[in-house]
Chain A
Amino acid sequence: MLVFGALLLLLGPPAPLEPVPLEPAPLEQPDASVIPDAREPDSPDAPGPAPIEALPLPAQPAGGSEQPLGHDPTPAWVAPPPPELIEPQPIVEPPTRPRRTKRCLPEVDPCMRVMSSRLLLAGLGAISAGASVFLIFQAGDRNRIGDPAMAIAGAGVIAVGAASIGGIVGVLGDDGPALPDRITPPTFGLSVGLGGSDHTDETVPYTLAGSFAPTWSFPRESGRLRLIGSVGGNLGDQVERDPRPQTSNDDGTFGSGLARRGWRFDLGLDLAVRLPYPLSQRRPAWLGQFELRYKPMVFFARDALALGDEPRVSQRVALTPLNWGLRWHLSPRQRFTFYLGPRWDLNGYGEPGGVAPGQPTAAPIYSESWFDLDLPIRKFASAGRPAVVGQYTVGYVHSRFYGAGMNLGSVVGFLGQVVTQFAIRVRPLGSPIAYQLELGARVGGGLNPFVRVGLVLPNLGDAKS
Chain B
Amino acid sequence: MTRARNHTTSRIAALALGLTTSLTGCTETECATPDYTRAECRVVAENSFARLKSSSGVELRFQDPDATDPSASYAAEGIIVERGSAVHARVAHMGEFALSLRNTGNQARTLELELSNVHPLATLVASPQIIEQPVVGAETTRQLLVTVPARGHTWVRGGLTQANACPPVFRLAVLADIQTNPTQFALIIERIQKEANLAEAAGELLAGVLVAGDLTESSSEDEFRVFQDLLDTAAVPFALTPGNHDVYESHLPFYNQNFGPGNYAFDVCGAHIAMLDTGSGAIAESVLGRLPELFDPGDSEHSLAVMHHPPYAGLTGGGWSREDLAMITLGEFAHQGGDLVIAGHAHMLREFTDISVAGGTVREIIAGTAGAWQGAGQPIYGYVRLTFEAGEIDACFVEVPPPGALPHVNTPTTIPVCDEA
Interface residues of A (CB under 8 A from B): 136-150, 196-202, 240-247, 254, 256-258, 301, 303, 305-308, 310, 312, 314, 316, 345-351, 355-365, 400-401, 403-407, 410, 412-414, 444-445
Which residue among B30, B73, B374, B380 has the maximum number of chain A CB atoms within 10 Å of its CB? B30
A-B interface pairs (CB < 8 A), number: 229
B135 at the interface (CB under 8 A from A): no
Query: Once the chains are docked, how many angstroms separate the CA of A145 from the CA of B315?
Result: 8
Query: Once the chains are docked, how many angstroms separate the CA of A363 from the CA of B320?
Result: 12
Query: Once the chains are docked, how many angstroms separate the CA of A48 from the CA of B373?
Result: 55
Known: A347-B358, A400-B322. A142 touches B244 (CB 8 A): no
Of the listed stretches B151-159, B231-239, B252-260, B345-353, name the one at the interface; the rest are far from the partner chain: B345-353
Known: A307-B292, A310-B292, A412-B280. A404 touches B322 (CB 8 A): yes
Of the listed stretches B83-91, B165-173, B325-333, name the one at the interface; the rest are far from the partner chain: B325-333
Which residue among B320, B328, B376 has the maximum number of chain A CB atoms within 10 Å of its CB? B328
Report whether A144 and B316 are in contact in the complex, using a CB–CB cutoff of 8 Å.
yes
Report whether B348 and A348 are in contact in the complex, using a CB–CB cutoff of 8 Å.
no
User: Among residues 341 to 378 in chain B, which have CB atoms less than 8 Å away from a CB atom of chain A?
Assistant: 345-348, 355-360, 368, 373-377
Query: Once the chains are docked, how many angstroms separate the CA of A197 from the CA of B26?
Result: 9
Besides A138-B376, A349-B357, A412-B321, 19 more A-B contacts (Cβ < 8 Å) are: A139-B376, A145-B375, A199-B29, A201-B29, A202-B27, A243-B40, A244-B43, A245-B44, A256-B289, A257-B285, A257-B289, A308-B293, A316-B323, A359-B356, A360-B356, A362-B314, A362-B315, A400-B319, A445-B322
Report whether B286 and A258 are in contact in the complex, using a CB–CB cutoff of 8 Å.
yes
Report whether A303 and B376 are in contact in the complex, using a CB–CB cutoff of 8 Å.
no
Query: Once the chains are docked, how many angstroms separate the CA of A257 from the CA of B314?
Result: 30
Report whether A312 and B244 are in contact in the complex, using a CB–CB cutoff of 8 Å.
no
Report whether A142 and B377 are in contact in the complex, using a CB–CB cutoff of 8 Å.
yes
Interface of B is mostly: loop
Report whether A243 and B289 are in contact in the complex, using a CB–CB cutoff of 8 Å.
no
Closest B-chain residue to A349, C-beta based? B331
- On chain B, the residues within 8 Å of A314 by CB distance are 324, 327-328, 331
User: Among residues 259 to 279 in chain B, which have CB atoms less than 8 Å away from a CB atom of chain A?
Assistant: none
CB contact between A358 and one of B313, B348, B356 (< 8 Å): that residue: B356
Report whether A400 and B317 are in contact in the complex, using a CB–CB cutoff of 8 Å.
no
Query: Once the chains are docked, how many angstroms separate the CA of A305 from the CA of B317?
Result: 28
User: Hey, what's the 0/1 contact readout for B55-83 against A, CB within 8 Å counting as 1?
Assistant: 00000000000000000011110000000
- On chain A, the residues within 8 Å of B6 by CB distance are none
Report whether A144 and B286 are in contact in the complex, using a CB–CB cutoff of 8 Å.
no
Closest A-chain residue to B309, C-beta based? A413
Task: Pull 25 A–B residue pairs with CB atoms less than 8 Å apart, ordered by A.
Answer: A140-B376, A141-B317, A141-B348, A150-B317, A200-B27, A240-B289, A241-B286, A243-B29, A254-B30, A257-B286, A312-B332, A347-B358, A349-B327, A349-B331, A356-B360, A357-B359, A358-B356, A358-B359, A400-B320, A404-B281, A407-B321, A410-B245, A412-B244, A413-B309, A413-B319
- On chain A, the residues within 8 Å of B315 by CB distance are 144, 147-148, 362, 364-365
Report whether B327 and A347 are in contact in the complex, using a CB–CB cutoff of 8 Å.
yes
Query: Once the chains are docked, how many angstroms separate the CA of A141 from the CA of B328?
Result: 25
CB contact between A413 and one of B43, B293, B313, B412 (< 8 Å): that residue: B313
CB contact between B320 and one of A356, A360, A413 (< 8 Å): that residue: A413
Which residue among B290, B317, B359 has the maximum number of chain A CB atoms within 10 Å of its CB? B317
Query: Once the chains are docked, how many angstroms separate the CA of A349 from the CA of B292?
Result: 13
CB distance from A399 to the nearest CB of B (A): 8
- On chain B, the residues within 8 Å of A445 by CB distance are 281, 321-322
CB distance from A398 to the nearest CB of B (A): 10
B141 at the interface (CB under 8 A from A): no
Query: Once the chains are docked, how many angstroms separate the CA of A240 from the CA of B282?
Result: 15
Report whether B320 and A244 are in contact in the complex, using a CB–CB cutoff of 8 Å.
no
Query: Once the chains are docked, how many angstroms separate the CA of A138 from the CA of B358?
Result: 37
B24 at the interface (CB under 8 A from A): yes
B334 at the interface (CB under 8 A from A): yes
CB contact between B24 and one of A150, A196, A351, A405 (< 8 Å): that residue: A196
User: Hey, what's the 0/1 contact readout for B4-33 against A, CB within 8 Å counting as 1?
Assistant: 000000000000000000001011111100
Report whether B356 and A347 are in contact in the complex, using a CB–CB cutoff of 8 Å.
yes
CB contact between B346 and one of A146, A357, A362 (< 8 Å): that residue: A146
Interface residues of B (CB under 8 A from A): 24, 26-31, 40, 43-44, 47-48, 73-76, 244-245, 280-282, 285-286, 288-293, 309, 312-324, 327-328, 330-332, 334-335, 345-348, 355-360, 368, 373-377, 379-380, 412
CB contact between B412 and one of A142, A312, A357, A410 (< 8 Å): that residue: A142
Query: Once the chains are docked, how many angstroms separate the CA of A356 from the CA of B362?
Result: 14
Query: Once the chains are docked, how many angstroms separate the CA of A360 from the CA of B288?
Result: 25
CB contact between A243 and one of B286, B288, B292 (< 8 Å): that residue: B286
Closest B-chain residue to A399, C-beta based? B323
- On chain A, the residues within 8 Å of B334 by CB distance are 349
CB distance from B287 to the nearest CB of A (A): 8
CB contact between B317 and one of A306, A403, A414 (< 8 Å): that residue: A414
Query: Once the chains are docked, how many angstroms separate the CA of A308 from the CA of B27?
Result: 23
CB contact between B313 and one of A136, A145, A364 (< 8 Å): that residue: A364
Report whether A400 and B27 are in contact in the complex, using a CB–CB cutoff of 8 Å.
no
Closest B-chain residue to A198, C-beta based? B27
Report whether A301 and B324 are in contact in the complex, using a CB–CB cutoff of 8 Å.
yes
CB contact between B28 and one of A198, A257, A312, A345 (< 8 Å): that residue: A198
Query: Once the chains are docked, how many angstroms separate the CA of A351 from the CA of B317?
Result: 30
- On chain A, the residues within 8 Å of B24 by CB distance are 196
Report whether A142 and B374 are in contact in the complex, using a CB–CB cutoff of 8 Å.
yes
Query: Once the chains are docked, how many angstroms separate the CA of A444 from the CA of B219?
Result: 23
Report whether A145 and B335 are in contact in the complex, using a CB–CB cutoff of 8 Å.
no
CB distance from B275 to the nearest CB of A (A): 16
The 7 closest A-B pairs by CB, nearest first: A140-B375, A146-B317, A356-B359, A349-B331, A258-B289, A257-B289, A359-B356
Query: Once the chains are docked, how many angstroms separate the CA of A317 from the CA of B303?
Result: 27
Query: Once the chains are docked, how many angstroms separate the CA of A149 from the CA of B316?
Result: 11
CB contact between A312 and one of B335, B360, B375 (< 8 Å): that residue: B335
Closest B-chain residue to A351, C-beta based? B335
